[in-house]
Chains A and B, each alone.
Chain A
């Protein structure tokens, strides 16, 4: 009796998705039994790969490499918060063929490991559909993509097939085996719909954890706005005053700060600032005294992007750079 009730419930739950004509029967089977069952999984996966791989990008980090996935034609990318690591920072993303694109981090949620990035170059990008309705179920067949261990053009993206084995606490667990470099990469159902973002692994190889799509959909607008959400372990909130430029300057009587020294291995040096340059403005605020610069930097943090208006050799120039850590 109990068994019959269970299967009845299963049938009912299956109905809405079946009506949509998409969900594969194999997901509602406890295990594949026949050659045909295996071939259904295989052909769905093979069919889904070209499009899903096309939309999956590598993310270059200061140290290491992560993965992300494009979800709109204008270049919105979903990834993990511990990959993007901050909001409104310039970064570079890489398509599977090696094409590098400029991008900017948007918001992140440090509690759930969700984050957004946007490609800032104009163009139309390959993208995948999101499972907005949370239609994925325990036991569904899924596959993960990622640049395992970093970008390797010859190898390309690495695919792993598995099932959703646990759904709990804003986390999906699958048996797609993840490794460093896969972080932020996509988890898809067999129709190629994005159901999760690769987040972390446990001590055991079976523990591969993903951020469910619902965690993105639920905070979509905040993430899009560039908000730093939460105080969780996946990203460190920028601390005011932690930003570092690395130069010494003297005020000029006619306004602006003349650079007297550029520190070695500092963000100023990396950005190409030179002794003798005159900094007229920081983020459009004119600088008259050294304190003006100090006061502005006090309000900023490690990683913040700044724009400097310079006078160099009598010519006006603009320089954009990211502050380093003090």
Chain B
């Protein structure tokens, strides 16, 4: 044993709160992550984690990170599953339901409640080796709450400035309008059936909507009038966010880190790649699912109550036999 001997003014790395000697005390929680968390791979690179929710290979992970992967594969325990199928998605929570061809997996055991006192230990996935999970530890660190969308929800269009109509000058590639096939030159007439004539009326109509939710937009294209469903996107996702001083000192953070109906906050320090996996309590039960690293001091998890409902909803959307 290396001892922090008297007079020595630096604590050996092993004994720091993320050091190997301290982390060793969390072996029973690590064993749960070994079997009930999934490691997401992009080719050979580790690029996030997932929560195993059924013995036959249903896994939840962060949607916006998963969709970036070029060659997704998954490891659970020591087995690598090269085929990953996407079954359902919830854009509001930014969660996707995946399926691997597996049997006999050990799903997470849900904790009865996420309403634990601040200061309660929590455990999450850290960088792994091919065969072994490692842990990162921390505490519940702030009030559970909603994280409103940074910058508010947006359609993903640029409107013509001088025009007296809401004429679209440009459709942003990353926004929901682009996916709904809204085009340059279209004129916005209504939001959810309500007529809008000015930019301020339009932004008022969108103000109370949530990013990820869908809204009916009525447009005029030439002589035709069309109504399309547009999924709203967080402004911060479409237009690159201004880096604040805190962002600059944060190392990397999740691209999507706002617009969640409710989060459990903790102080586990990791990279933006630590998201998607389960957050465990000392009993090894799943108290949430890591959904964003907001900055170096704040990480967010979907609380277990919301996660259970979400998992059930996504599973119910899966066609029979999958």
Contacts and interface: CB of A to CB of B under 8 A. Distances in A.
B44 to A, nearest CB: 26
Contact of A31 (B15, B138, B245, B295): B15
Interface stretch (A109-117, A178-186, A273-281): A178-186
A10 B120 CA distance: 29
Interface string A169-201: 000000111111110000000000000000001
Given A158-B297, A158-B298, A31 B22 contact: yes
Given A166-B9, A177-B267, A148 B3 contact: no
A138 B4 contact: yes
A30 B25 contact: no
Interface in B56-106: none
A163 B14 CA distance: 12
A30 B297 contact: no
Nearest to A202: B249
A179 B295 contact: yes
Contacts of A165: 10-11, 16
B274 to A, nearest CB: 13
A256 B224 CA distance: 75
Interface in A276-316: none
Given A179-B295, A206-B16, A45 B139 contact: yes
Contacts of A178: 297
Contacts of B22: 31-32
A1 B249 CA distance: 46
B141 A160 contact: yes
B6 A156 contact: no
B119 A32 contact: no
B115 interface: no
Nearest to B248: A180
Interface stretch (A35-43, A74-82, A87-95): A35-43
A159 B140 CA distance: 8
A155 interface: yes
Contacts of A176: 267
B246 A139 contact: no
A65 to B, nearest CB: 11
B119 A179 contact: no
A39 B282 contact: yes
Counting chain A CB atoms within 10 Å of each CB, which of B8, B11, B139, B145 scores highest? B11
Contacts of B4: 30, 138-139
A15 to B, nearest CB: 14
A182 B141 CA distance: 14
B265 interface: yes
A199 to B, nearest CB: 14
Interface residues of B, number: 47
A33 B15 CA distance: 11
Interface in B196-217: none
B42 to A, nearest CB: 24
A149 interface: yes
B146 interface: yes
A149 B246 contact: yes
A154 B146 contact: yes
A49 B269 contact: no
B25 A160 contact: no
Contacts of B18: 175
B25 A156 contact: no
Contacts of A179: 246, 249-250, 295-298
Given A30-B4, A31-B25, A163 B265 contact: no
A10 B21 CA distance: 19
B188 to A, nearest CB: 33
A154 B16 contact: no
A19 interface: no
Contacts of B317: none
Contact of A42 (B1, B6, B120, B296): B120
A155 B282 contact: no
B6 A158 contact: no
B181 to A, nearest CB: 38
Nearest to B10: A166
A131 to B, nearest CB: 18
Nearest to A160: B267
Contacts of B9: 138, 166-168
B282 A35 contact: yes
Contacts of B244: 149, 180
B282 A154 contact: no
A182 B10 CA distance: 23
Given A45-B139, A158-B298, 16 more contacts: A31-B15, A31-B25, A32-B25, A33-B25, A46-B120, A139-B4, A148-B246, A148-B295, A159-B141, A160-B141, A160-B297, A165-B10, A165-B11, A166-B9, A177-B269, A179-B296
Interface of B: 1, 3-6, 8-11, 14-19, 21-22, 24-26, 28, 117-121, 138-139, 141-143, 145-146, 244-246, 249-251, 265, 267, 269, 282, 295-298
14 contacts: A31-B19, A31-B22, A46-B120, A139-B4, A156-B142, A156-B143, A158-B141, A159-B267, A162-B17, A166-B11, A175-B17, A176-B267, A177-B269, A177-B297
Closest 9 CB pairs of A and B: A31-B21, A45-B119, A46-B119, A179-B297, A165-B11, A154-B145, A32-B25, A180-B246, A160-B267
